[in-house]
Amino acid sequence: MYLITVFGNLLIILAISSDSHLHTPMYFFLANLSFADICVTSTTVPKMLLNVQTQSQVITYAGCITQMHFFIIFSGLDIYLLAVMAYDRFVAICHPLQYMVIMNPRLCGLLLLVSWLSVVSLFFCSGLGVYLSSAAPQNSHTSAVASVMYTVVTPMLNPFIYSLRNRDIKRALKRVTGVPVM
């Protein structure tokens, strides 16, 4: 699942960056979402795979804090990018004639920038919430299943959900992989 996530999201980034027809705000945000999904998964899954392989669940305090820091940053970025993508689609649907004027490169860059640092404040608030909730008793199996769902499954499905139903992305992927375009 990890390899599918990384490979699928890298293909999306490659397809978008290599096809000039896809250099639009919608695909700009999609490429950034794919990058964030790779980062979210890569902050936890390699350590989890190592733990499974070695049958050890040990992590240092510094390793835990570092992993939590990057996980929260990239998870928050994912959430904000989804909100920005929703705004982009709103503008495209409700104001189609003004779309390129409203969603200009400056605004797209600004929205991406706002998505990033907002994540910094989210990190501190979420980190405090995790710290405060750690005293409450929890079912470890339920926590593990929930963790796998939002750290592995969701980033793996995003390329399929946001891209493979899109004919422009399909066409770009065929060009990148060398499959004849029909």
Dist CA 101 CA 107 (whole Å): 10
pLDDT at residue 90, rounded to an integer: 93
pLDDT at residue 137, rounded to an integer: 59
pLDDT at residue 17, rounded to an integer: 93
pLDDT at residue 14, rounded to an integer: 92
pLDDT at residue 94, rounded to an integer: 93
> How many other C-beta atoms are found inside a 10 Å radius of the C-beta of residue 138?
10
pLDDT at residue 58, rounded to an integer: 86
pLDDT at residue 170, rounded to an integer: 79
Residues whose CB falls within 8 Å of the CB of residue 127, separated by 6 or more in sequence, listed in order: 68, 69, 72
pLDDT at residue 10, rounded to an integer: 92
Q: Which parts of the chain register pLDDT below 50?
A: none
Q: What residue ranges define each of the domains in the chain, with the CATH number in brackets?
A: 2-177 (1.20.1070.10)
Positive or negative: CA dihedral 166, 172, 175, 177 = negative
Q: Provide the terminal-to-terminal Cα distance of the chain, rounded to the nearest Å.
A: 30
